[in-house]
Amino acid sequence: MESLAMGKKLPTSVLVGLLVASAITQTVLAQNCGCAPNLCCSQHGYCGQGNDYCGTGCKEGPCFSKSPTGASVASIVSPQFFNGIINQARADCAGKKFYTRQAFLTALDSFPDFGKLGSDVESKREIAAFFAHATHETEFFCYKEEQDKSNSYCEANPKFPCAPGKSYHGRGPLQLTGNTNYGNAGNALKLDLLKNPEMVANDPVVSFKGSLWYWMAAVRPVIGQGFGATIKAINGRLECGVPAAQDKVQRRIRFYTDYCKQLGVDPGPKLSC
């Protein structure tokens, strides 16, 4: 997964690890499956990731073996929990009046399985992990977008060509970056984010949706391997096994263990990458 994460910004700016999503969202018809190790063979014989491939009817690969718990994400992400994070942001932060618990809950309508697969403990661990990474990337929901906008993150991709004059720098809770990610997220959300990437920093619901799409496509498939695997999925190339980046890894872990404690669950094994 680390080869699917794009680079990040300067240490003082909001950092984001990103998915080069073509390998994750493109489907390949495989009559006899034979998918790559990280892909599931759906009930219809296609290779891919996410609930459509790894959920009901999954034939082989990292299939979701667990059924929905019926956990109430709204109850877990209580006003006290959400406000306890965002209230730590500076008073002058653009994100402080942008990100809201209600925007997060509204965005969840597009991702009904988030925080609901496996046991109650696993549900709470996933929620803690998502908010740990979001806290790290946005400084307690302070930033709506990357502070250093000098890089437009436009890469050659005939399927998702960059729109003239548009920048695909990091935006949103997990700082979605790159035209490939914006294109794939836009397709999933039925929004033209290639032509209008600013929507991810201008509409709080779209902002959360973009990050939840990224999470479900890139991180959810490895969530059962421990929090360390989620770090690797998000920014493994630049943080995992990199001595100079261990402070960032430990910071993510601290947020995660703190949120697990708040939610009353053990953080589980394999916290680091």
Question: Mind telling me the catalytic residues?
Answer: 137
Contact criterion met (CB below 8 Å) for 20 and 6 = yes
In 3D space, the residue among 44, 80, 45, 64 whose CA is nearest the CA of residue 114 turns out to be: 64
| DSSP sequence for 144-192 | SB-S--S-------SSSPPPTT-----BTTTTB-SHHHHHHHHHHHT--
Those residues whose C-beta lies under 8 Å from the C-beta of residue 28, and which sit 6 or more positions away, are 35, 46, 47, 48
CA 1 to chain CA centroid, Å, is 13
Per DSSP, what are the bridge partners of residue 145?
A: 171
HSE of 66 in the Cβ direction (CA atoms, 13 Å)? 17
Contact criterion met (CB below 8 Å) for 221 and 38 = yes
